[in-house]
Every structure is written in C-alpha cells, then in structure tokens.
Amino acid sequence: MSKNWPLWEVFVRSKNGLEHRHCGSLHAADAQMAMANARDVYTRRSEGVSIWVVESSHITASNPENNGEMFEPAADKVYRHPTFYDLPDEVKHM
Amino acid sequence: MNNNLYNYIIGIADNSLILGQRLGELCGHGPSLETDIACTNISLDLFGQVRSYFQYAAQVSGDEKTTEDTLAFLRIEREYKNVLLVEQPNTDFGYTIVRQFLFDAYHLLFLRELENSKDQTLVAIAKKSVKEVSYHWRFSSDWVRRLGDGTTESHGRVQEAVTDLWMYTDELFHQTDADQAMIATGVGVNTSALKERYYQMITEVLEEATLEVPESKYWHKGGKQGIHSEHMGYILSDMQYMQRTYPNMEW
C-alpha cells in the first residue's frame, strides 16, 4: 500500500462564475476527505460557492510529446475564430 | 458595570481563545498540509468569535483601559476562566482531534441555545458562530470515525486520547455564580439541560468509530474558577510574550 494518500484535482465555481475552474490539487484518502480538504485549502478566502473533486488518476491527459500533431495544425487557421462577423447583442458569453 | 454579565462573557470567550491558541501552535506543524490548514482555519474561526466576545466584554466593563487586546494578552493566569479541556496539549493528532471533538459537541449545543438569549449582542455572535462550529463538529467527528475505525495504530492512539481526555468533559457543564445569575435572567444558557444530549452525541460517534466509551469515576475541574493545569502557564507565556515585551505594539 502506498504511504501517501492519492492525489485529487479540485474545481471551484466562484460566486459569479459560470463554470467550475481547476484551481489546484491536494491529497486525501477518499472523496469525502477530498471535499473537506478542498473546502479548507481552496475556499478559505471565499473563493467559491461550489466544489468538484476528482481523483487525478481518473483524468486522461494529452501527452506533451504529441503537442506538434495535436495542437500546431490549429495555429494557422485564424478563419476558425468567429471574429469575422458581427455577433447579435442577444448572444451572451461568447 | 454588570459583573455577572462581564464574567459570563469572559467564561465563554476564554474557551475559544485557549483552544484557538492550541490549534494555532500547529501552524506549519500539522500532519499534512491539508489538516494543518484545516486546524489553523478552525483556530482563526475561534479567534474571530473571541474578538466579538471581548469587544462586548470591554464595553460592558465600562473601563476605558479595557480593550479586546488587554483581555486577551494582559490578564494573569487566575483571571482566565477556560475549562481545563481546551488547555490540554497537542500530544499527537489523535489528542488534537479528540480534544476538538469533545469541545465541538458542547460548543455547538451551547451556541444553538445562546441564539435564544435575551441579550441581543450574544444572539448576534451566536448566529454567526454556529455555522463555523457546525463545520468544526463535522470535521472533528469525521476524523474520530476515521482514526477509530482505521488502523490498529490509529485506533490505539485515539482510544488513549479519548480515555485521557474524558475526565475533562464534566467541567463543561459546571456552573459558576455568574453562569447561574445569567441563566436566571434568561441571558445565559442552562448547560445542565445540554448534558444528556452531549453525551448522546459523543457516544454515537465513538460507537461508530468502534471506540470504547470510558467510564470515569473522577472528573477534573478548576479551570472555570481560574485554577488551571500546569500547561496554562506555558500557553500564556507563549501567547502574551509580544504584548509584554513590546507594550502597546501594533502591526
């Protein structure tokens, strides 16, 4: 058995925020402890009104070695940005 | 000045002050970063509550020279009226958690009743504090379950802490003259009425944690009269050092 508690990733939604944002990680023995620790470590300055925690091992991450093929092809395709036409006022949060 | 009210406020505040100081000692020394921050968060919650009580006590005292700072830092040992439980040392994480657990259950029941006090300032402090203390209770009782129902090592240590600290619990319900006078006027909380519920709360968690509920025939007491254990002098010398060395210092 590993001596260390598993690592968890913490996502916090701020009062006026629309989505949870990743704000850091911590160690905890289980989900309940991860939630308590997240509250104590990441919301003590009233940063948030909602917390998600997920065990880091459950996250599948892209491999930095593949960054070339993964991300560079998008770099020269500015026409994919919706900046070439006017947005109607009714469209929020773009 | 209303002596009974003043002494009553001091009696409540000193418990939180000394427990907060004990928890503050763990800053940078907790068993893990997360529990270290959790303990110091609780410490800061308690100090926040203490400030409200002391500001009120200073006002009640009618003495211009009495302030929240003089009450916190410039009294002598006999003038502190905290129960003996809260001055017990952070022997290990088990002791720290059990001390917290045994105090939180009382603190929570006490504040819920203080919300019905006839004194509106105390009601306001209680309303603000009860949310913080609900979390303290959740934190400490959760850890008692984890440690009690954990490994052989954690079970043994936390059982030792429960057995050792148990004999300090009865004092929580002792009433001073000021307590009785305040209960009679509807300002104070009748702690005798909380005792049965307190031991119920504690026993439920201990049983869940597979811990043995001690049966004490002897109870320590004295803190509420200002007669403290040997630990108190060390706590005060640590806590009062700055104000005594640099009188009237400010940040």
Which two tokens mark B150?
A: 């954990």
The answer to whether A40 contacts chain B (CB < 8 Å) is yes
Q: What is the pLDDT of residue B98?
A: 98
For residues B126 and B111, give the distance between their C-alpha atoms in angstroms, rounded to a whole number.
Answer: 5
Compute CA B97 distance to the chain's CA centroid, rounded to the nearest angstrom.
Answer: 13
More confident residue, B38 or A45: B38
Which two tokens mark B199?
A: 């031991």
> Is B88 part of a structural domain of the chain?
yes
Which two tokens mark B207?
A: 């049983």
Q: What is the pLDDT of residue A2?
A: 60
For residues B37 and A40, give the distance between their C-alpha atoms in angstroms, rounded to a whole number.
Answer: 7
CATH assignment of the domain containing B54: 1.20.1260.10
The answer to whether B146 contacts chain A (CB < 8 Å) is yes
pLDDT over 70 (residue A1): no
Coil, helix or strand at residue B58? helix
Closest listed residue to residue B32, CA positions, set A47, A77, A37, A21 = A37
Coil, helix or strand at residue A13? strand
Closest listed residue to residue B5, CA positions, set B132, B179, B126, B176 = B179
DSSP symbol at B22: H
CA triple B134-B135-B138, angle to 5 deg = 90
Q: What is the pLDDT of residue A46?
A: 84
DSSP, residue by residue, A34-90: HHHHHHHHHSTTS--SEEEEEEGGG-----GGGHHHHHGGGTT-GGGSTTSSPPPTT
CB-nearest partner of A41 from B34, B142, B146: B34
Among B34, B93, B134, B142, the residue to mutate for chain A (most A Cβ within 10 A): B34
Number of neighbouring beta carbons within 10 Å of residue B200:
10
Q: What is the pLDDT of residue A4?
A: 83
Compute CA A10 distance to the chain's CA centroid, rounded to the nearest angstrom.
Answer: 8
Please judge whether A26 and B139 are an interchain contact, meaning their C-beta atoms are less than 8 angstroms apart. no
> Is B250 part of a structural domain of the chain?
no
Please judge whether A40 and B34 are an interchain contact, meaning their C-beta atoms are less than 8 angstroms apart. yes
More confident residue, B194 or A44: B194
> Is B251 part of a structural domain of the chain?
no
> Which amino acid would we find at residue B193?
A
Cβ–Cβ under 8 Å, residues B88 and B229:
yes
Given CATH 3.30.420.40, say whether it is the number of domain A7-80: no
pLDDT, tens digit (0-9, with 9 covering 90-100), for B207-238:
999 999 999 889 999 999 999 999 999 999 99
Smallest CA–CA separation between A40 and chain B, in Å? 5
The answer to whether B37 contacts chain A (CB < 8 Å) is yes
* Furthest-apart CA atoms within chain A: distance in Å: 58
> Is B128 part of a structural domain of the chain?
yes
DSSP symbol at B227: -
Coil, helix or strand at residue B181? helix
Average pLDDT of the segment spanning A70-75: 86
Query: Where are the domains positioned within chain A?
Result: 7-80
Tokens 């913490």: give the residue. Answer: A10
In chain A, count of helices (H) and strands (E)? 2, 3
pTM equals 0.90
Note down the domain range covering B158: 3-245
Tokens 């203490």: give the residue. Answer: B50
Please judge whether A44 and B41 are an interchain contact, meaning their C-beta atoms are less than 8 angstroms apart. yes
Say what the ipTM of the complex is: 0.79
Q: Which residues of chain B have pLDDT under 50?
A: none
